[in-house]
Homo-oligomer: A and B are copies of this chain.
């Protein structure tokens, strides 16, 4: 293996430390505490775990955490009433509704109800538009986390060839926008792309986000490239009966023999997501108070 293994867990821990320092400074200098409100509708056990993690991470950096647990049969009107209240609450700088919501609720309409300035998941049409036109967007957490890891590895990305595999609204498209903003030449590949192997072999930066376990093989990787693996697929463990393991979109062993640096799964991109949610909340808080958002927390 030749590649540097990018330690997302350590990087995220460092980022959370930076955020904690910013939060302390905001309190001291401006008497402001960033606040994040998380809404959970229903009792999906996985969502419950995510929401608890977010709560703990929020409190750990010294921010205010507001949790709202609504019953599974909550009407849209009741959900929107809560969102409107949080939109108007000056102690709340970030709002996120944990998805998926029950079937009778609509994710797109729910996101659209959140004030774009508090949409710390960066999922709204307004934030997508701000990102694509170079405005002050709140950027979707996972692509933002990938950008931070890339900046840390590469520094100035000007002129690098970046290939993003996957074109989702949640990840592929905002990731491409961020790389373009960083002056990369950006190619978006997807399920209909021809000769994807050859395309990937031209990439200085290869970001895979398709959700197909180990699709990207070592011979798809340009020697020295930085490989970011966003995929997470849970499969039966090959050796331990009854156990599962997580696989990325990249075949780690073969790719790590060629790449210059690579994120593992787990422990690569994953830990960045919650840290970037906290970063976005600080950014939103600073903007709400007319303060410059701290360096390094956003795109």
Contact = CB atoms under 8 A, between A and B. Distances in A.
A185 interface: yes
A131 B167 CA distance: 13
Interface stretch (A67-75, A121-129, A213-221, A243-251): A121-129
A199 to B, nearest CB: 7
What is the size category of the interface that chain A forms with chain B?
20 to 34
Interface centre among A133, A161, A176 (most CB of B within 10 A): A133
Nearest to A176: B188
Contacts of A173: 132-133, 180
Contacts of A194: 159, 161, 185
A2 interface: no
Given A129-B129, A133-B128, A183 B192 contact: yes
Contact of A128 (B132, B176, B187): B132
A193 B185 contact: yes
B186 A188 contact: yes
A130 interface: yes
Q: Give the oligomeric copy count.
A: 2
Interface in A85-135: 124-135
A125 B193 CA distance: 29
Given A128-B132, A129-B125, A130-B129, A185 B185 contact: no
Contacts of A188: 176, 180, 185-187
A52 interface: no
A286 to B, nearest CB: 20
A188 to B, nearest CB: 5
A79 interface: no
A190 interface: yes
23 contacts: A124-B129, A125-B130, A125-B135, A128-B132, A128-B133, A129-B129, A131-B132, A132-B132, A132-B169, A132-B173, A132-B177, A133-B173, A158-B192, A159-B194, A161-B194, A167-B180, A180-B188, A183-B190, A183-B192, A185-B188, A185-B193, A185-B199, A186-B188
8 closest A-B pairs (Cβ-Cβ)? A129-B129, A125-B129, A128-B129, A187-B187, A185-B193, A183-B192, A133-B169, A159-B194
